[in-house]
Amino acid sequence: MPNVRLDRGGRMANEIKIKLVRSMVGRPEKHRRILRSLGLTRLNKTVTLYDTPQIMGAVRKVRHMVEVSQP
């Protein structure tokens, strides 16, 4: 069974993989801060995070720069 944790609403939060596929160069500072908060510091870097509303909200802001997949 994959790693599962509960989010604030008590629902199960599965893991997702997020990969930075577009460069941060020339992007607004707000987008860069969001990517850094997700742990994405270099092009093609992949991080595994829990699928919570907070993480998905951040991903939605930079969806044109990342790829999201299930592990």
Query: What's the CA gap between 12 and 6, in Å, rounded?
Result: 5
pLDDT tens-digit readout, 32-68: 999 999 999 999 999 999 999 999 999 999 999 999 9
Kindly indicate the confidence band of residue 6, based on its pLDDT and cuts at 50, 70 and 90. Answer: low
Residue 2: the pLDDT is 57
Residue 71: the pLDDT is 78
Query: What's the CA gap between 45 and 42, in Å, rounded?
Result: 6
Other CB atoms within a 10 A radius of the CB of residue 28 amount to 9
* Domain ranges, ordered by start, for the chain: 5-69
For the chain, how long is the longest CA-to-CA vector?
41
Residue 8: the pLDDT is 66
Give the pLDDT mean for 19-27.
96
Q: What would the two tokens of residue 68 be?
A: 């999201």
Give phi and psi for 17, each to the nearest 5.
-105, 135
Question: What is the fold of 5-69?
Answer: Ribosomal Protein L30; Chain: A, (3.30.1390)
